[in-house]
Structure 1
Amino acid sequence: MTAEGSADGSAEGTVEVSAAGSVDASAGGPVAGKLSFLDRWLAAWILGAMATGLVLGRLVPGMGDALAKVTVAGVSLPIALGLLTMMYPVLAKVRYDRLETVTRDRRLLLPSLLLNWVLGPAVMFALAWAFLPDLPEYRTGLIIVGLARCIAMVIIWNDLACGNREAAAVLVALNSVFQVIAFSALGWFYLSVLPGWLGLPQTALDVSVWEIARSVLIFLGIPLLTGYATRRLGEKARGRAWYEAELVPRIGPFALYGLLFTIVVLFALQGEAITSTPLDVARIALPLLVYFALMWTGSMALGRAVGLDYPKATTLAFTAAGNNFELAIAVAIATFGATSGQALAGVVGPLIEVPVLIGLVHVALAARRHFPQSDNGTPAAAQEGPTRV
């Protein structure tokens, strides 16, 4: 997902966050109340975008042909613009200058790399085959989702659960860079090599590894480079305080607008498949639910076992459980087409992720008592006074 903090920049989206990067759980009220108006009703906006797309697909004949006339890396131009729009604001928010602070913390970095790039894809691969053995297109779409690691919306859930925001931002940056390098090779391995070793049907790819890499480089590399350049140039020209307080709230909402626009177009193209096979959509949702529960619970327990404090363990759990559905959708469209079952599997993801991870925020807050406490009863590393973000 692709929003962070107050998507519309309004006071309604203000969250009390400690200087260590943790939300003050006593400030605000219920979790949903700490989200901006746009973020709080994100599931409703997604549902509305889906419905709008379905209606447009029914009422406007020949829409698919019109959208396919101009393409970028095999993706129709409107969808490509929507994908780039949703990715850029998030990557412009990342604190790239703090990468070294996390790379020095091996208790956080090594488990994060293991969970994101070894266990996460393997778990989704196993669930996809267990739940969708007879639906190869949806199964492949879920495997692609499992390869696309979190890069953005996770910062919201991390903040609301009193996680370490700086560590989350750095892990997001690290995942962004690593995806450009590793996504294509992992896709080839999990779609072609591993099924062959296990005696399972292999997915026939009509594109080369380079073509998948090109899609990743366009839809992740371009917004990553422009996001990095925006932060560097913005901070150099006006300072970090202006960048965080003025520019970020202005560009933030465009991530959501891009997501909703992309969903409208995708569902306009997917309308017939969705309305004719609603049970298939439900079957896609089920392994996603199991995936989120397994990855978050296991990551939280691992963080506790290796001695991380509550804020960092929470960051580890949410960055491991979240997925970059935008990248998964982009790759699925470029590789298999906008009307494919693979693309539909990616589109279903955001609708499931939002309510599930909001629920896991509550679970995380309840789990704080199982971590080392300070003298005043609050989790370690969350002592400083609150500041505004």
Structure 2
Amino acid sequence: MSTATHDSPTAPAVVGRLSHLDRFLPLWIGLAMAVGLLLGRLVPGLDSALDAVTVGGISLPIAIGLLIMMYPVLAKVRYDRLGTVTGDRRLLVSSLVLNWLVGPALMFALAWIFLADQPAYRTGLIIVGLARCIAMVIIWNDLAGGDREAAAVLVALNSVFQVVAFGLLGWFYLAVLPGWLGLSGTGLAVSGADLAGNVLIFLGIPLLAGYLTRRLGERARGRDWYETRLLPRIGPAALYGLLFTIVILFALQGDAITGRPLDVARIALPLLVYFAVMWAGSYLLGRAVGLGYARTTTLAFTAAGNNFELAIAVAIGTFGVTSGQALAGVVGPLIEVPVLVGLVYVSRWARHRLFPTTAARS
């Protein structure tokens, strides 16, 4: 993608900078959901066919789809630039606090507030809150005029930290904290080892593959070739993998979705609140600590975005492909994508009002 300009573009200009695949991503997701629903109703015995071969408790077609959609986005990360951001203590500390303390805690609270009587959906939302952004947020950050290198570094840090912390945090928020707070009705027996195992498979494998692809590709042909020739070729595979996975998930979730549309709406509501609160709060925090527009924008988008691919993978691996937890994960991208695209425009609008000095120089 081209470097984001620092003037405030119109909505068509921002959308026009996306590829056709990314520009209509909400539409593709909606179509994939519709195709999945039709397959679930028209193809008998689909459940048995998908479960014939499993990997880590997940049907092989879904496992392949999940790995395919994770790999390209991790191949885009600049793993050699950790030092460009780690020296900015304000940005680094703010990001770590927002991503690994505030974000999971906020989603936990919203899940219990909105879905106290739906333990499966509640658990799915909590998993989404634990899956911090690792890739697609770079697109939104770039369009909003954020600091591209800072976004890449924060994404890399989240990727590594996620492998280490996801299982422990999942065990804490799903099995320990509800008991401490006297919350009942969870009906959970969550193993931190099981969660960590699924993270290692569906994040660790594509993370290693992405790192090696960049390292070996740049060594063999150079960075310019890697960035301008290879990445555009493999990038669309992430969307194809996501859409394929959504088709299969909705084929297996068809009865639950069509039979309980109000449940889908109930899952969507706390997600909307979460994205709005996390983005606005992070944006105001960045301004308060004096980060400037570019890094404030990066902080806001990396804190608000979630790795719904990982959330779906963990929900399927831990609770099953037809579980309510998996359904909550699938609803995630349907809400997150249009919301974060809208926040690109909000960020551009807020720049001239909250950062007048920076805007004057552009």
TM (normalized to structure 2)?
A: 0.97
Using a 3 Å threshold, how does the CA distance of structure 1 residues 24 and 90 change in structure 2: closer, same or farther?
farther
Following the alignment from structure 1 to structure 2, what is the Cα–Cα distance between the partners of residues 375 and 349?
Answer: 34
1:103 deviates by 1.0
1:25 deviates by 4.2
Amino acid at match of 2:225: W
Q: Which runs of 5+ in 1 are unaligned?
A: 6-14, 380-389
1:266 deviates by 0.3
* Identical columns (%): 73
Aligned to 2:108: 125
Answer yes or no: is the 8 Å Cα contact 1:28–1:34 preserved in 2: no
Query: What is the 5 A alignment of 1:10-49?
Result: 15=2, 17=3, 25-26=8-9, 29-49=12-32
| SS of 1:78 mapped into structure 2 | helix
Using a 3 Å threshold, how does the CA distance of structure 1 residues 93 and 27 change in structure 2: closer, same or farther?
farther
- Alignment of 1:88 with 2:75, yes or no, is no
Q: Which runs of 5+ in 2 are unaligned?
A: none
| 1:8-32 superposed Cα distances (whole Å, 9 cap, x missing partner) | xxxxxxx4x16xxx56545995321
Aligned to 1:213: 196
- Alignment of 1:178 with 2:161, yes or no, is yes
1:109 deviates by 0.3
Using a 3 Å threshold, how does the CA distance of structure 1 residues 304 and 207 change in structure 2: closer, same or farther?
closer
Answer yes or no: is the 8 Å Cα contact 2:264–2:331 preserved in 1: yes
1:371 deviates by 4.0
Following the alignment from structure 1 to structure 2, what is the Cα–Cα distance between the partners of residues 378 and 294?
Answer: 29
Following the alignment from structure 1 to structure 2, what is the Cα–Cα distance between the partners of residues 291 and 186?
Answer: 18
Aligned to 1:297: 280
Following the alignment from structure 2 to structure 1, what is the Cα–Cα distance between the partners of residues 58 and 245?
Answer: 11
Amino acid at match of 1:54: L
- Alignment of 1:72 with 2:27, yes or no, is no
| 1:258-311 superposed Cα distances (whole Å, 9 cap, x missing partner) | 000000000010000000000000000000000000000000000000000100
1:370 deviates by 3.5
1:34 deviates by 1.6
Query: What is the 5 A alignment of 1:366-381?
Result: 366-374=349-357, 377-378=360-361
Amino acid at match of 2:197: R
Using a 3 Å threshold, how does the CA distance of structure 1 residues 195 and 26 change in structure 2: closer, same or farther?
closer
Which of 224, 239, 254 is 1:271 aligned to? 254
Following the alignment from structure 2 to structure 1, what is the Cα–Cα distance between the partners of residues 187 and 297?
Answer: 38
Answer yes or no: is the 8 Å Cα contact 2:6–2:359 preserved in 1: no
Amino acid at match of 2:32: A
Following the alignment from structure 1 to structure 2, what is the Cα–Cα distance between the partners of residues 375 and 185?
Answer: 41
Using a 3 Å threshold, how does the CA distance of structure 1 residues 363 and 82 change in structure 2: closer, same or farther?
same
Following the alignment from structure 2 to structure 1, what is the Cα–Cα distance between the partners of residues 313 and 188?
Answer: 16
Which of 92, 101, 107 is 2:84 aligned to? 101
Which of 149, 157, 178 is 1:195 aligned to? 178
1:378 deviates by 3.4
| SS of 2:360 mapped into structure 1 | coil
| 1:57-108 superposed Cα distances (whole Å, 9 cap, x missing partner) | 1111110111011111111100000000000000000000001111111010
Answer yes or no: is the 8 Å Cα contact 1:157–1:358 preserved in 2: yes
Amino acid at match of 2:134: I
Following the alignment from structure 1 to structure 2, what is the Cα–Cα distance between the partners of residues 29 and 366?
Answer: 14
Amino acid at match of 1:191: L
| SS of 2:184 mapped into structure 1 | coil
Using a 3 Å threshold, how does the CA distance of structure 1 residues 135 and 309 change in structure 2: closer, same or farther?
same
| 1:227-255 superposed Cα distances (whole Å, 9 cap, x missing partner) | 00000000000000000010000000000
Answer yes or no: is the 8 Å Cα contact 2:293–2:358 preserved in 1: no
Following the alignment from structure 2 to structure 1, what is the Cα–Cα distance between the partners of residues 189 and 60?
Answer: 21
Amino acid at match of 1:86: M
Following the alignment from structure 1 to structure 2, what is the Cα–Cα distance between the partners of residues 198 and 302?
Answer: 28
| 1:192-240 superposed Cα distances (whole Å, 9 cap, x missing partner) | 1110011002644455321211100000000000100000000000000
Which of 119, 141, 147 is 1:136 aligned to? 119
1:120 deviates by 0.1
- Alignment of 1:362 with 2:345, yes or no, is yes
| SS of 1:30 mapped into structure 2 | helix
Amino acid at match of 2:244: F
Q: Aligned pair count?
A: 362
Following the alignment from structure 1 to structure 2, what is the Cα–Cα distance between the partners of residues 58 and 366?
Answer: 45
Which of 220, 223, 226 is 2:209 aligned to? 226
Answer yes or no: is the 8 Å Cα contact 1:23–1:159 preserved in 2: no
Amino acid at match of 1:188: W
Answer yes or no: is the 8 Å Cα contact 2:11–2:345 preserved in 1: no
Q: Which moved more, 1:357-366 or 1:370-379?
A: 370-379
Aligned to 1:60: 43
Following the alignment from structure 1 to structure 2, what is the Cα–Cα distance between the partners of residues 135 and 146?
Answer: 17
| 1:291-333 superposed Cα distances (whole Å, 9 cap, x missing partner) | 0000000000000000001000000000000000011101100
